[in-house]
Amino acid sequence: MKIFIDSADLSEIKQAYEWGIADGITTNPSLMKKAVNKCKLDGEDINLKGYIKEILLISKDTPVSLEVTETTAQRMIEEGRKLYEMFKEFGNVNIKIPINPSFEENNLTHFDGIKAIKKLSEENIPINCTLIFTPEQALLAAKAGAAFVSPFAGRVDDNLRKRSGMNFNKTDYFPMEGISKNDNGIVSGIDLVKQCVQILRQYNLKTEVLAASLRNTRQVREAALIRADIATLPFDVIRNMLKHSQTFEGMKKFTADVVEEYKNLL
C-alpha cells in the first residue's frame, strides 16, 4: 500500500520524504489555509504559487493533489485546467474534484462533479475525486475517468457516532457498535473503503482507492489489510505508526545489556 502525506506543511512534507516513506501528497483548501496561517504567524511572507512549487519539488515526481474551489462544472473545469497548466512542468499534479459540489439535497449541480471529472480526464488531466462517502459515488467517479477516488473513512465514523449520540474523540478507533448503527449498509469508514475496493476490482476499473480521513494507526492497518491502493495520512498518524510501548522497553533492555567488548567492536 502506498502512503501519501495529507498536509500542506513544508516541514512535515520534507520530513516524510526524508524518511523515505512518502509516495505522494494530498492537499485541500483547509490544509492550505493552515499552512499559510502558520507562515504568517512565523512572520514569513508567502507567495502561494512559489510555496506550491516547493511542495512539488520535494515530492520528486510522486502525485500531488491540488483542489479546485468552485462549485459548478464549468468553473471547476476552468480552475482545474488553470491549476494543471500552472504546475504541469513538474509532471505530478493531480486535480481534486468533489464527487458532488452541491450544498444541499435539491441543488441542481449534483452531476457537476462528474461532468468536470469526465471533461478533465478526457484532456489527460489526472483527477482525484474527493468527498466520497458511498461506494456508488466511487463507482460513478471511476466510470467518469477519475485516476483516484478518496473515501473519507474518518468522517464516516464521525457521522455514525454522532447520529447514534455517542461521545467520542475523533482520533478514537470506531468500535463494533458501528455494525448496529450503519449508514445505508456502511458500518464504518474502513467498511466504506473496503466496499470501494471490492467494487472497483470486481469490474477491473483502473481507478485507485485512496483511503482518506484516517485518524489513527489501526485504521491504517485495516486499510492495508483490505488492500486499499493508497492511504493518505496526517503527519501525526505517520509518526504514531512507529510507536509501541514494548518497542521502547526492548530498546531500554538491549541498550542496558551492551557489554564493553561489543562496544569496542563498533
76 pLDDT tier (thresholds 50, 70, 90) = very high
174 pLDDT tier (thresholds 50, 70, 90) = low
106 pLDDT higher than 90: no
Lowest mean per-residue pLDDT among 41-55, 115-129, 136-150:
41-55
100 pLDDT higher than 80: yes
Q: Annotated active-site positions, please?
A: 96
Q: Quick one: cell of 80?
A: 482545474
226-264 in b/e form (b: 16+ CB < 10 A) is bebbbbbbbbebbeeeeeeeeeeeeeeeeeeeeeeeeee
**Claim: this prediction has a pTM higher than 0.85:** yes
Closest CA to 136 of 194, 199, 178, 187: 199
* pLDDT above 90: percentage of residues in the chain: 77
Give domain 2-265's CATH number out of 3.20.20.70, 3.30.230.10, 3.50.4.10, 1.10.3720.10.
3.20.20.70
Closest CA to 214 of 151, 167, 161, 160: 151
- Rounded mean pLDDT of the chain? 92
107 pLDDT tier (thresholds 50, 70, 90) = confident
160 pLDDT tier (thresholds 50, 70, 90) = confident
Domain boundaries, the chain: 2-265
What pLDDT sits at residue 78?
99
179 pLDDT tier (thresholds 50, 70, 90) = low
C-alpha angle 132/136/137, rounded to 5°? 35
What pLDDT sits at residue 168?
57
Average pLDDT for residues 95-124, to the nearest whole number? Answer: 95
Residue with cell 504541469: 88
What pLDDT sits at residue 172?
59
Choice between 263 and 12, residue whose per-residue pLDDT is larger: 12
The answer to whether 130 and 99 have CB atoms below 8 angstroms apart is yes
What pLDDT sits at residue 235?
97
113 pLDDT higher than 70: yes
205 pLDDT tier (thresholds 50, 70, 90) = very high
